Amino acid sequence: PGSRTLACGQVAPPDAGTPPVDAGTPTDAGASTVQLGVLADVTAASWEAGVFPDSNDLNVEGGASGPGAVVYLRFPAISGAVKRAVLRLHGTTSPSASGGSGTVCAVADNSWNEATLTWAARPSWGACAGAVTSVDPDKDVDWDVTPIIRANAVQSLAIVSMDQNGAHFFSKEAGNGPR
């Protein structure tokens, strides 16, 4: 009984016919806010022939004709109805962390592996959500990803940017990873 309102990386869409509710305002006595940590996170970069070499850094940026570095994230499934899903990443402390945040896109293929993912083998992405914003060093960036989330399923996401002045976020290996 009761529904779940997800925040900070929780993933699942609202019930059909029920308008989303703000994560801070559960609408029934059984509602709760749940925070999930990422299961896997990695950057796929066009300039790297192999796996992105810095496992602490999640780098998004645009290239001359499209994305040049894309961040892939995988979150566990959450059971129950979800009213709102928010993805939160924290910018690294380096001045080079600042840039465009990119937008968050659904990834249907959950078979990728953070230890082996390369630019050439990256999965494609589909529908996107969340506004592009400016990233400041050592600050959180939140995206409302409710429209692209599948209920009761492991969820992979890609952060895609066209900004050639990309942004850098902490990975789970760095200790302040996506949630």
**Predicted confidence (pLDDT) per residue in 35-44, tens digit:** 888 999 999 9
Tell me the pairing of strands 32-34 and 4-6: parallel
pLDDT at residue number 36: 86
pLDDT at residue number 86: 93
The verdict on pTM exceeding 0.85 is no
Nearest-angstrom CA–CA distance, 163 and 62: 5
The mean per-residue pLDDT over the stretch 92-118 comes to 93
Q: Using an 8 Å Cβ cutoff, are 124 and 143 in contact?
A: no
